[in-house]
Amino acid sequence: MTYFNKTIRDVILERSLAPSTGFQEAIFNGGEINTWGIESALTVVPFFNANLQWTSRTTFTLDRSEVVELPVPRFTIQGFGYFYGTTVAEAGRSLTLLWGNGPNPETGEVGVGPLAEGNSDFRMGFSNDIRVGRFNVYSTLDWQSGGRANNLTQFLFDLTRNTQDCNTLVGGESVCVKRNREFPNNTGTYFQDISFVKLRELTVSYDLPEEMVNGVWSGARHLRLNMSGRDLLTFTDYAGLDPEVSNFGSEAVGRGVDVAPFPPSRSFWFSIDVGF
């Protein structure tokens, strides 16, 4: 198990300057960010004998961040502004919060504020390597709990009435029309849970008998046939194409923005390993 706690000081920031200086902005060092998290792994061997070898590994990770100090007013980091949803740097807040327009729970007035946490509660991985005789099966399962993504792809489909549930009526009103109507006063209408379970990888291997190897190629010591698949199954309630979406790539801050991405791919491989 590993626990980390890192404080980043003198962050590189921009600040606006008075027009009389002849410059619009200046780059300077200031502010403080804190990040902490846990990474752990456990490996067990339930069976290990001449006929069956089974190794199982479980991982657990979580991380959190906070802007401790910021010598400039809050500013947006990644996104399309408060109306469509964005991430913001503000002292005393998490860096992965999703901000937008939303009703004040006390007054009901619409204003800008943090509406959801984009970062997941935790992630776990489960891998198993099982060997029975000449066959070997390896699998990896990923589980993410919590987190939110800004599903603007659904917003675009709702605008053109192409969403799957547009024909569903609630109180005489189409579900997608209702979302579009609520959106200007509540950006969080399209902030959706991105919990998922994925069968990340599955590989089945077979070691050919020695006499068969010698018959195929006398110079080889062993031959192994492998059939692999990646991202084979996904279980999630997220309405988009992939709960691991990120419109701006693998950014540390500003992930979870979904704007008409390519659908995720499912990959298959067949390979032959030769030992000499």
198 pLDDT more than 80: yes
How high is the pLDDT of residue 247? 84
Question: Residue 240 in contact with residue 151, Cβ under 8 Å?
Answer: yes
pTM here? Answer: 0.86
276 pLDDT more than 90: no
In whole angstroms, what is the distance from residue 53 CA to residue 70 CA? 54
How high is the pLDDT of residue 43? 97
In whole angstroms, what is the distance from residue 110 CA to residue 104 CA? 6
In whole angstroms, what is the distance from residue 254 CA to residue 37 CA? 19
What phi-psi label fits residue 105: left (phi over 0), alpha (psi between -120 and 50 degrees) or beta? alpha
71 pLDDT more than 90: yes
In whole angstroms, what is the distance from residue 62 CA to residue 50 CA? 38
Q: pLDDT tens-digit profile of 214-237? A: 777 677 778 899 999 999 999 999
Alpha-carbon torsion (144, 145, 146, 152), positive or negative: positive
